[in-house]
Amino acid sequence: MATLSSGYSLVEQAKRLDPDGKLSIIVENLNLEMGGILQEWPWKPSNDTWTNKTLRRASLPSGAWRKLNTGVATENSKTSEVMDVIGMLETYAEYDKEYINGFPSPAVARMDEARAFLEGLGQTLVSKLLYGNANADPDQLHGLAPRLATVDGKYVIDGGGTGSDVTSIFVVTPGTNESYLIYPKNSPTLGIQHTDLGEVTLTDATSSAPNTSQYQGYRDHFQVKCGFVVKNLKCIGRVANIETAGASNTFDEDDLIKLLNYMKKNAGTRIYANQVILTQAEIKLKDKTNVNWSAEDGLGGLPFMKFRGIPVRLIDEQILLNTETAIT
């Protein structure tokens, strides 16, 4: 298998490293469920097998003015070491042999059935990218929300809501020196693995021991090994505590403007929001006095929103929740 320098998205690497296209199909299906994250965020090997150590710049030398024939004191930059974990997400797909063999192309039928499992994996993965807390559960990756759990008026803005019916807008600037996804180093499949386990004997889930019922079927194994690294804390942000209950509750665009002005941004910066926020944005877009929102045609001619030139990606409200608990 060919090698590829890090910094490319997983979608791009899968196309280059997998000539027969099997890995690309899996990645593209996962990407559809993840708001384009796998296509737009860099995907790099970790610097350890199951963890990644990052040196985060804590302070910079400031320099000093001097006169002729005088010197200046030496300085050092300071760094802090951060450890990020790689989570392992997997599932098995099982199908009745007679059902699959009833199709003109059993291989295509199995892949169609597998898409439901890939959809579930994609939704779980993006959910953990948002809310996963490795401090509470070390088996999963560490996501955005626990890194942005305290209102500071700069990178975490208070939207004014209270209780347990609030949502958030997340903003991420991806890049190899900003924030990126990781997979275990030396993984030949970029941390994405599909194994065709062939024909196996399956047990009817409705039966119970000692009188279990069995039948012949096919089994596939899908595995995703992934972590999330934030090298520069100015590259992630959140407008939290946005009320979702009640027709009169709309989020304040000024909060998003404030957040963006503090964050480090580049051409890859993306805003992530659910249907509640996107609906409010589209309603504002039809107002002739609107200056913040715009719409452009994306892939397949489908329009996508921009806020002050920054693309907004939709994440379903079953994943980016309307039932967050307000933070302080």
Higher-scoring residue by pLDDT: 92, 190: 92
What pLDDT sits at residue 77? 73
pLDDT tens for each residue of 10-21 = 656 655 555 455
Is there a domain that residue 34 lies in? yes
**For the segment 261-277, what is each residue's pLDDT rounded down to a tens digit?**
999 999 999 999 999 99
Mean pLDDT of the chain: 85
Question: Domain for residue 214, yes or no?
Answer: no
173, 176, 178, 183: CA torsion to nearest 10: 90
Which structural domain range is residue 248 located in?
Answer: 10-57+78-200+224-314
Per-residue confidence (pLDDT) for residue 27, from 0 to 100 = 66
Neighbours of 226 (CB within 10 A): 23
Count of alpha carbons within 13 angstroms of residue 40, beta-carbon side: 18
Name the pLDDT band for 5 (thresholds 50, 70, 90).
Answer: very low
40: in domain: yes
Query: Residues with Cβ < 8 Å from 222, sequence gap 6 or more?
Result: 26, 90, 91, 92, 93, 114, 117, 118, 121, 193, 194
pLDDT tens, position by position, 155-202: 999 999 999 999 999 999 999 899 999 989 888 777 888 888 999 999
- What total of structural domains would you count in the chain? 1
CA-closest candidate to residue 39, choices 6, 17, 19, 13: 13
Given this model, what pLDDT does residue 22 score?
60
Q: What confidence tens digit (pLDDT) does each residue in 30-50 have?
A: 666 666 777 788 888 898 888
Specify if 27 maps to a domain.
yes
Residue 207 counted as domain residue: no
Q: What's the pLDDT tens digit per position in 120-143?
A: 888 888 999 999 999 999 888 999
d(CA 181, CA 63): 34
Residue 214 token pair: 């069995």
> Is 216 a member of any domain?
no
Rounded alpha-carbon distances, angstroms, from residue 50 to 17, 39, 138, 255, 309? 22, 23, 11, 37, 37
* 114 assigned to some structural domain: yes
Question: Nearest Cα to 57, choosing from 177, 210, 185, 139?
Answer: 177
Looking at the chain, list the stretches that DSSP marks H as alpha helix, in order from N- to C-terminal side.
10-17, 22-32, 37-40, 97-101, 106-131, 144-147, 253-262, 275-285
Which token pair is 121?
Answer: 């994996």
Omega within 30 of 0 (cis) for the link into 19: no
Residue 2 lies in a domain: no
| Of residues 299, 26, 33, 47, the one with CA closest to residue 180 | 47
**Helix 10-17 and helix 22-32, axial crossing angle in degrees, nearest 10:** 170
* pLDDT band, very low/low/confident/very high, at 101 (cuts 50, 70, 90): very high
For residues 43 and 207, give the distance between their C-alpha atoms in angstroms, rounded to a whole number: 43
What is residue 7's predicted lDDT score, i.e. its pLDDT? 58
Question: pLDDT confidence of 3, banded at 50, 70, 90?
Answer: very low
